Amino acid sequence: MNLSFLRPLALATALGLGILGSAGAAEYSTLDGEASTLAFGYSQMNVKMDGRFAELRATELSFDPARPEAAKVSIEVALSGIDAGYDEANTELAKDEWLALAAHPVATFTSTGVEALGDNRYQVTGELSIKGVTRTVTAPFTFAQDGDAGVFEGDFTFQRADFGVGEGEWRDFSIVANDIRISFRIVAKP
């Protein structure tokens, strides 16, 4: 009995199951807040400083590397968890001239589009809201699978004056520069 016709059928079945299995596992929809980091860099009196945010959460997250153009993300950052590198700066940032934490305790980013650039490189465009002001920003990022997690890493720069961060005497960029660099490492699970 010649069973050679079963080989193509077995191969097609195996490939079909493999594609279905990987497609279901490929969509990342849950942010791992403990493994994720959101940091910032700035210059104070020409000295490079670094800071970070202690708490971020995703109110919406959907990324399938096979369909990046359909991705969606909405991130909330609790500004009360800011660490600008030293206590005096943290206290100052809570004031109305800076982040006005009493009135604006959360910064948000909501994507409006994701574009694949090739070689696991992408860029996300969206609306960044800080201190009640919303601006469109674009951030390039890379994506890599790490076990059952997806890791998104990237950075972008914005001008603090565009969001009213640093008002009054702090509008002088010779003390604190206008450029704020945001870097992120977002870890997501299916």
Cα–Cα nearest to 124, from 133, 115, 134, 136: 115
Is residue 169 a part of any domain in this protein? yes
Decide: residue 79, CB within 10 A, 0-12 exposed, 13-18 middle, 19+ buried. buried
Is residue 9 a part of any domain in this protein? no
Report, as an integer, the average pLDDT of 69-81: 97
| pLDDT tens digits along 115-149 | 999 999 999 999 999 999 999 999 999 999 999 99
Q: Is the pLDDT of residue 14 over 50?
A: no
Is residue 133 a part of any domain in this protein? yes
Is residue 16 a part of any domain in this protein? no
* Counted domains in the chain: 1
- pTM, full prediction: 0.84
Write down the pLDDT at residue 100: 98
| Domain that residue 33 falls in | 27-189
DSSP SS3 for 178: coil
As given in the structure block, the two tokens for residue 111 are 């994507």
Q: Is the pLDDT of residue 2 over 50?
A: no
Alpha-carbon distance of 153 to 121, in angstroms, equals: 10
Alpha-carbon distance of 113 to 153, in angstroms, equals: 17
CATH number of 168's domain: 2.40.128.110
As given in the structure block, the two tokens for residue 180 are 């704020």
Average pLDDT of every residue of the chain:
89
| pLDDT tens digits along 140-180 | 999 999 999 999 999 999 999 999 999 999 999 999 999 99
Write down the pLDDT at residue 26: 77
Half-sphere exposure of 190 (CA within 13 A, CB side): 13
The amino acid that residue 34 corresponds to is E
Instruction: Name every residue whose Cβ is closer than 8 Å to that of residue 20 and which is 6 or more positions away in sequence.
Output: none
The amino acid that residue 78 corresponds to is A
Report, as an integer, the average pLDDT of 55-72: 97
As given in the structure block, the two tokens for residue 151 are 């890791």
Is residue 17 a part of any domain in this protein? no
Integer CA distances (angstroms), 186 to 4, 16, 41, 42, 63, in order: 48, 31, 17, 21, 12
Is residue 55 a part of any domain in this protein? yes
Instruction: Name every residue whose Cβ is closer than 8 Å to that of residue 125 and which is 6 or more positions away in sequence.
Output: 111, 112, 113, 114, 115, 136, 137, 138, 139
The amino acid that residue 176 corresponds to is V
SS3 assignment for 24-46: HHCCECEECCCCCEEEEEEEECC
Is residue 11 a part of any domain in this protein? no
